[in-house]
Structure 1
Amino acid sequence: MTTAMATSQELAALITSKIDRGELTSGTRLSEVSLAEDLGVSRNTLREAFRVLSQDGLVDHIPNRGVFVHRFSKSDVNDIYAYRLFVELAAIRSAQDHPEQVERSLVQMRHAYQNAVAANEQGDWQTVGSENSAFHLAIVELAEVKRLVVEARKVLALARIGFLETRESETFHSPYVNLNGEILQRLERRDFKAAEDFLQEYLERSRQDLLSRLPEK
């Protein structure tokens, strides 16, 4: 990989992180000039990063208008949750084969859960949402497949766009904080089957919740 390519990939990852943190929301126009200046990169490198983000479904290029953070709709929901159900459940299913990775993932989950609990109590909804993504990324890491983690980070960022589009989006993740705690407890007991079953119900609930709270258009 050339330096330019590496830089564009790193830049795409940086913008993805901004989306996940709620700093860039659905429909936000990404100004090529100002963003390149703010990030200290060339406009050519930024264009390449936009191409990567477009392939990942995180931005939309509209001819003669520019590049925008993806405008999330209900059509995105089923695809995202089909992916999450397949990947996160499979990661838990394979966890018993990777005991050392389980320990590492549990550390990350505890950290994300504890941060979310504190943020939930303080009404810091942006942090609650970001820590939810971190918690579920740690679940994916149970599978100990680096490429899977890279792709899951993009899917979770796309889901984050959707969560921020919902009615009362500030509190969307609030009830899921305790549910993440329930998953954590099952994994700490190494009761992987119970954790998998609980997560399946959790994701189905989240999918229906997201669908019901998204605007019609």
Structure 2
Amino acid sequence: MMRQISFFSELVREYKQFFQKDTIFFFDIEGTILKTNIYHEALYQQKYNDILKSICEKYEENYLYISRYGRFFNRNLTDKSIYTLLHILKKNQSDICILTFAKYSFDREKSLKDKKIYFNNQIWTSGNNKGEFILEFLKRKKNFKKIFFIDDKIEHIENVENIFNIQKKNYELFTFLYKNLNIFEVTKESFISFWTSVIMHYKEKQKRKYNNKKIDFYEQ
């Protein structure tokens, strides 16, 4: 049964006895380990899109490049108590796996058979059903019995629970809805301020990149 948490320390306090060698944790990264970029999220919600386009026009930058660049700008951990959790998991020889969105889209059926989507205990889901990918991962790692899944989206948790219920696999499943408390509303002013900072940072980075290339050229 799904339970809501706001701090990873809650898992340590209440579930530490389950952290064993046959335990694996599946963590979503966006909005769970790392804070959701609410300014980038506003673009998906079709909020202030025209404002960002006008800012890009003002500074003569490409909207698509800037929106992608801003997604990972100034990222922070949602909760530093994750360090304690990871330390205890390592000490108890429990395993972890990160679910992340791939940089490209791919066909789900081919992906489930493709070993490239399982790399260094990362799963590239590309927006597909996380439950299917987790089960496929577990087929390759047959030594786990207790499964912990933490995500900030209830639909992903429901997908995982449904897949495990349908497959009737012999796993003990623990699911958690992570809701960070440090989320605030995006205002028009804060939106403009954030994306202006992103563009300034992007311009400075491109300038350094260009200058380094010039230096390399003249040194040859």
Task: Tell me the TM-score range normalised by the shorter chain.
Answer: under 0.3
TM norm structure 2 = 0.23
Larger Rg: 2
TM norm structure 1 = 0.23
Q: When you count helix as a share of all residues, which structure comes out higher?
A: 1
